[in-house]
Structures are given as C-alpha cells and as structure tokens.
Structure 1
C-alpha cells in the first residue's frame, strides 16, 4: 500500500508533487509549529484507517514516502535528513502510539544516504522503469538495494515498467521478492510487457500467483 501524501498545507492540483506545494518539511518537523500539527494530524487520520485493517487481522505492506531520493515529492524535496526524520517519526507514531502491529514497513530507495536504518524497515525496495520489452533481471539495482542492510533483508520492486523474465532472474540469482507494475499502459496495452511474456511470467513455477497461496484465514489449522 502506497500513500500519495497530499501536502498538509495544500497547494495546487496534486500536492504530493514538490512543484505544486511550498510545504516546508524541516519546519513541519519542528514541534510547536502549525505545520507540525498538520503533519501529525494527517498521520493520525491515516492511522485510524489502518487500524480497521489491523482489527480484522489484515497485514499491510506499508510503503510510504516512496521515491524520496528523486525529490519530485515534497517529502524528498529538502534532502535525505528531513526525509529520514519524517520516516522515523511516522514509524514511532504508528508503531508505539497507534499500536499498528499489522504493518510490514517497506523502504523505497536504493540510495544509501537516504536509508533510515535497519530498525525502521522490514523490506527494502526500489522503483525501476525498464524500457518496453527489456526483461532483464535489473541486477545492478538489486545489488544496490540489497547493500542497504548488508544483505539481511528481502528486496522488492516497489514499482516497475517491463517485468523481468523469471528465467533470467533465476539464472542471475536475482531474487526480487515481488513486482508491482504500474497499471494502464504498462500492462493493459501490452507494450511494456507483451501479453505472451505476461502469460509466461504468471505460469512460471518460480512465480507465486493468488491461486497458489494458502488460505491465510486457516493457515496452520485443520481446514
């Protein structure tokens, strides 16, 4: 689950984009400011929605503050340190104050400078939009992301265009945990990944699709 966080102080159009808001993150991280109050209010509002899933025993792959190092979103516009502070603030507030024990925290950047630390993420990921028809394993970006925690965590594609070929992934020992292909033209039009290639991926023995998952409601039970 990704949170496209509209700037707490507003702006124009889609205010998660830095160009559409003048929201000042360093100021918002300062207790006592109006921006800080709005920042916390947004977090608390989202936390209440996540509690509904927690109360129904639904785990959530939680991927906030995505693509921060690109700076096109407001949470990355002021550099690495404010972004890491924001991540840690959210992690502490959601985990300790709101008791959201159903969240699996997914960090989303392969740049070491931006990494908030091993203790505040469960899975590390990066976003790569390979050119249409390029089904290579994207090994370099896997290695960069894997290095964040010294090879101790699972690594996922937060977002992707063309989907890597599972045979190439196996041959190169590049075990991406999952991929999340941006919809619309990246899938529906068959340009980024052809229909034939998509069927190969879904049918491949190394790929797990929904129909091959266990019944989690009775996992470990007799049913």
Structure 2
C-alpha cells in the first residue's frame, strides 16, 4: 500500500476517535479556547501515528527569493508544504516593524493565518533583547538579567512592556470568524546552554523557573491569552536529570521538546537518546513531544534525511521535527531545508514519501482544530 492509501486508512481511524479522553489529556490552561483544546488533543493523538515536518520561516523567504506569494523551498523540493511553520518574534519587544531576521511582523501574522486556514501548525520563538544591557539575546555579560526582570527587579517594568507587545501580537491572531488562532510558544529555549542571557550559567534554577511561571501567569491572567500551548525546549542533554533541572512544572508546560543540531560525530546517538527521554516522559505526563529545532550538513551529507534523521527518530512518538531557516542572504549557516535542485533534494523526496513523515496535504485532512 502506498503512503496515500495508508493515510486514508489512518484518516478514517482518527475521524472515528471517541470524544471522551483520559482526564489528563488537556492543555495546562483551564481556559484554553475550544480550538486550542482541540489542537492539543489532536496533536497528542497524532504523534503516535506519524511525525510532522516543520521549517522555520518557510513562507517568508528561501534560497534566492524573498516574499514571493505562495512560495516555499520545501514545496519547491517535494511538491508539498511543511505541516509545521516556525516564526521568530525577536525585536517585537522593541516595537519594531520587523524581526531580527528582517521579516515584517504584519507579514508573519498574515502567514500564521494562512497556515491556520490550511490546517497546519504555527510555532513561535522569541530571541528577545537583553533588557538589562539593551544588547542582543546572545549578550551574556551579566548574571543579573533574569533577577532584574522578575517582580521587584530594576527592569521589571521594562520587561512588562515586552510582554505587553507580545500579548498585542498574539491578540491580533484571529481567524475569519473572529476566533483566536492557536500557536505553540517556545520561550527561553536552549537554557541548558549558556549562549543566551537566560542560560544555565546566567541565572539560578529558581530564577529560571520563576521567570517561566511569571510569563505564563501574566499572559493568561493579566492579558487573557488562552490560545497558546507552551513548549519547554532545552538544548542537547545527557541525562534525564539535566533535562528537568529547570523544568517549571507540569501545570505550565504543554509540550516537551529539545533542540539538537548535527555538529558531527555522535549526533545520531544523541538524537536517539534525547528523543527517548522526551517521548517517555511526555507519555507519562500526557504531554506532546517534539524536536523543536534541528539541522544538519545537508549540502555535504546528501542522504542526511533518510540515513540520519529518519532512522534515529522512527522509533519514537514525536509530534514534529522542525529544521531551521534557509537564509536568503549570506549568513553563518547555509540551508537547513531542501530547495529546488539542492544536493539533498532527491533524498528529501524519499523522506517525504516515508510513512513516518507528515506534511501539509496529509495534516490538512485531519482538521486539527475541530
């Protein structure tokens, strides 16, 4: 049976799922919108059936193009869009018109609506400025930043303006019928490393947990934001204890995830180990599991998709795996996803056709928000 036939059978099965769920299979936000509740439940189920593919800034730009309506490097390579779309909100806190990756925020809002209408999934990251020094997220010159933005800190009022701008952005994410569009939000990620001002060597365990809990509480109670699923996302880790050291609690986390880039020897084994821990714990806690960022040397390792990523992740129940962006300008990295006639594109088509992987056409049929 080909992939399309297999998915037709799966679609019939999912459509027949009973509406009664286990008690724990709900988002952490007791006031989550109906669409957010449906998305959570459907992602929780779907991760046992297949793994969605995601790409950062997929509709915004790619190799050699910017802002071309309907274009996608992934679609150019395999004929289909990703199922998950990543968006970056860095510089939103400054009141700027465009992100740190030079993508206009009004464009991002438009694409989020497009993805929602297609039945895809949107996830957002936020490389916000260092509120103590005014420098970038990568400014690690002070260990006082997190403390300074918590209640009572000297930069707390400034931080609230950051959160207010985030809330304004989220509140503008509305469908044609006026309902809010659910998004996955991944704040203060890769905190097991120390390259961001919120990293492990820059704040205490309690400070990090307090920061996480504060933003969830503020967005929900002060800003009435109830269309967000919260993603806890570390960098690579070597033990379960390391993964959960700064975990803020099951009551404020919906998705367990990790970031892990292929930087050479040991990547496959690290990917397998991290996936095994996260999926096992997600199952215990009735959470969604994901690889929230990855990428590899696809220009050199042209079978990276089917010989590295796919065999490493196949055994695990992961909601999605997202690769980082394809920059349109020279940058510190090359493409992380395929593009038209890229060296890895033939292998990516095999990845696309595998039963494990899910893309836009398949996911659209599943009506994740109903």
User: Which bin holds the TM-score, normalised by the shorter protein?
Assistant: 0.7 to 0.9
Distance between the aligned counterparts of 2:368 and 2:247, measured in 1? 36
Distance between the aligned counterparts of 1:60 and 1:178, measured in 2? 14
Q: Where does 1:120-199 land on structure 2 (aligned, <5 Å)?
A: 120-131=252-263, 136=268, 138-146=271-279, 151-152=284-285, 153-162=287-296, 163=305, 165-170=309-314, 173-184=315-326, 185=334, 186-188=336-338, 194-199=344-349
Q: Where does 1:53-92 land on structure 2 (aligned, <5 Å)?
A: 53=173, 56-76=179-199, 77-92=202-217
Checking the alignment, whether the CA contact within 8 Å between 1:129 and 1:161 is kept in structure 2 is yes
Deviation at 1:195, TM superposition (A): 1.9
Cα 1:206–1:80 shift into 2, 3 Å: same
Checking the alignment, whether the CA contact within 8 Å between 2:149 and 2:159 is kept in structure 1 is yes
Q: Is the strand fraction higher in 1 or 2? A: 2
CA shift digits 1:30-53 (9 cap, x unpaired): 42x431111111111111111111
CA shift digits 1:158-206 (9 cap, x unpaired): 1001355435533xx212211111123222589xx92222212222222
Match of 1:5 in 2: 128
My pick for the range that moved more, 21-30 or 111-120, is: 21-30
CA shift digits 1:67-113 (9 cap, x unpaired): 11212111222132211111000000111211111101111026111
CA shift digits 1:105-128 (9 cap, x unpaired): 111026111111111010110001
Checking the alignment, whether the CA contact within 8 Å between 1:7 and 1:16 is kept in structure 2 is yes
CA-based RMSD of the aligned residues comes to 3.1
TM-score of the two chains, using structure 2 as the length reference? 0.51
Checking the alignment, whether the CA contact within 8 Å between 2:205 and 2:246 is kept in structure 1 is yes
State the aligned residue count.
214
Residue segments in structure 2 that go unaligned for 5+ positions in a row: 1-123, 238-242, 297-304, 327-333
Checking the alignment, whether the CA contact within 8 Å between 1:132 and 1:161 is kept in structure 2 is no
